[in-house]
A and B are shown apart, each in its own frame.
Chain A
Amino acid sequence: MTADQPKYKTSDVVDFVIVGSGAAGGVLAKELSTNGFRVVVLEQGPYLTEADFTHNEIEILALDKLTNHPKLQPTTVRKTPDEKAKPQRALVYGRCVGGTSVHFTANFWRFHEIDFIERSKVGAVPGSTLVNWPITYADLEPYYTKVEWEIGVSGLAGASPFDPPRSKPYPMPPLPVKSSGVLFERATRRLGWHPFPAPMAILSQPRPGRSACIQCGYCLGFGCEVGAKSSSLVAAIRVAERTGRCEIRPNSYVHRIELNANGRAIGAVYFDEKRNTHLQKAKAVVVCANGAETPRLLLLSANKQFPDGLANSSGLVGKNLMFNSGGTVTGVYDKPLNDYKGYCVSRVLHDFYELDHEKVGFYGGGGLDARYDFTPISFAFGGIPPETPRWGKDFKAALAHNFTRTMEIFCHGTSLPVENNSFSLDPDLKDAWGLPALRLTYKDHADDLKLASWLFDRAHAIHEAAGAVKKWSLPPQEQQFGVHLLGTCRMGNDPKTSVINPDHRTHDVKNLFLCDGSSLVTSGRGQPTMTIMALAFRAADRITALAKRGEIGA
């Protein structure tokens, strides 16, 4: 936390209150404060810094130090709207300053042109509410470039023939290849495909105040103790703080957007650490709370004027949820890869990004990568072949032999938007603050499961070509748990079929803006954070233009 932070009073009518400090909220805080606006960021989690980012598997993974806690914020799960939802963990998201960008893997693919115009290309998909985005790849391209240069992304431009056009190369070279990457690269070339160095939001070269990656091996699930991972915490929020106009207020759990009689937002109501309630006043409210908590906040803010929740005249708040389909095919090799060392993913394949749905018999597409995302304990729980004895001499022998010799091929794919798939308020279960808990309703579109199987077959072929001694996968199953939380307040031109317009302004409340995974219209092929950050840079430009024209305010 820098000393430059102002301390606003809740009664000060600041220009913007931003709810959430993750990939989108952090970028918006940086951009809006840099553009001269006074900003308060309300983050429900604590303000943690590099000193707090240990490799302690217990506190980080078992005790949810960086993430939403299932005891404080329980959830329920069901497959279809006619079922009663049962208490079960439905999601994981970052709950600290920087949000999920603190603990994510940092895969940073851009979406491709197809992701924005797929409905036009493939036509209507039965059982899906697939539509085009109101913006195109070309609209977003300058902002993807901005993310790469301002946030810090390593990669090699031109390495993938399937990459969409770009206006600038990456600002720094890719990270060093891992053994999994070499096996993957050679095997996929032999199969006639086109692997490329993974674009990662991890520094291969130092930047002011941030180290290059030290290859400690604790990316996924952990915060980066040297600032190499380009979280919004290190890459955006610190810039916002240095403007002297942005206050980051942690431990502030927003549970209502307050409106005036004209139906305009006047601020955000939150619990502080001691559970006292405050209203932070602002000229406009920007909600970046993620694809689950953003719709929940709108639903929690229902009032007489908006009985079905704020900005919900379309009835689509919380709906069309997409998780991304996919899964893992695991392989064991003769010699040690030692892939537990270093960052997760060094090579990616996009040959199957855009599949001919008539030829393959289903809609969708995906990407494959070579990775290793185990800690020693999670490897023992889930990294050894399923038929291995669960205890004893052979169990121990499998751990001893396989831990250094294993690599995974991860299949990332589309999820089709389905209207019933949603986050809503559970009618019975409450969180530790007495607020209605999140209820997940999710049943994968049949095509998503077909796509996963199809990608699994290619992953098996890659392991085969790479010379795996052994390989296996579990059959694709319907999802009941998500970490990519997408599509729940989708963007569109028509207020009847979307929640926000292309400026991220809600159709119903003129000074209420939403920007995060909920804004996405399609799921892409599995790596949404890059696109969420690009949208946030673009949203900041649009919102700034509106504010300068005097078009926002209560």
Chain B
Amino acid sequence: MLGALSALLVCASVSAQDFIDLESERSRTGNSVVVAEPRADEDAAVNPAPIPQGSVSYGLNGQVATTTSSVLIQDSQSAVASDPGSVFIQVQRLAEEVRRLNGLVEEQAYQIKTLQRQSLERYMDIDRRLAGGSSVAPTKEQIKPEESALPVVNTQEAEYKAVDAKEEPAYLAARQLVYDRKFDDAVLAFNDFLLEYPNGAYAPNAHYWLGELYLVLNPPNLELSRQSFQLLLDLYPKHSKAPDANFKLATVYFAKGNIERAKTMLESVIATYPRQPVAELAKKFLADKY
């Protein structure tokens, strides 16, 4: 008996539609399938009426409401299930997809080839410089800014990242090469480090060191230095090395001849970090060079 009742209540909206055309259903909208008699007494507001086996919707005052059906319901009932795509259409779609994927694979193959060539060139470049021996030690002047801005790992940041047990030793070893003034080796070591731990806790510091190191190589590689600092700023804009990287990036632009851009950047460093030592460096640089 209960089942019959619930079936009646539940299915009223659905079963009825098999026999109703679209127009008449539209005109019925609003009062079509009454699921239950509306009741809005005080009691219902406090505790909605217990429900029968079916489904009942309530308004905010606990009143029982009605359910209507959209025109789509008839469409879906009357229309013979639309053709999910004959075999021909499916094959066509697959062919299209294969073409698209083929194009993608070709593009990616090209990109990989380009990357391979670039990394080989970079390696050869470093190799050549190693063979030539960059024995000329940078002057005190050149090395000073990086001493004043030793990479300090922000302890809070380090906490959030799961530090690989081997990451810190690798980073420290690379840094030791800088301290030992083996700058060419240090460049290789930091690049290896970044390949191994691209998202490591020390990755920002490694980017920073690379930026500095490319400047003290003989000859300096301004473009790679610029890329390193820019990468650090793009990936870790809030990192504690960001102010210094901003300043260094400005000086690199200056060295590359983009004097206007360097000036705007230096001014923005002063404006953004007014209370940090880097602001003083920027002011001094502006005073000396402009």
Q: Do A and B bind each other?
A: no
A residues at B contact (CB < 8 Å): none
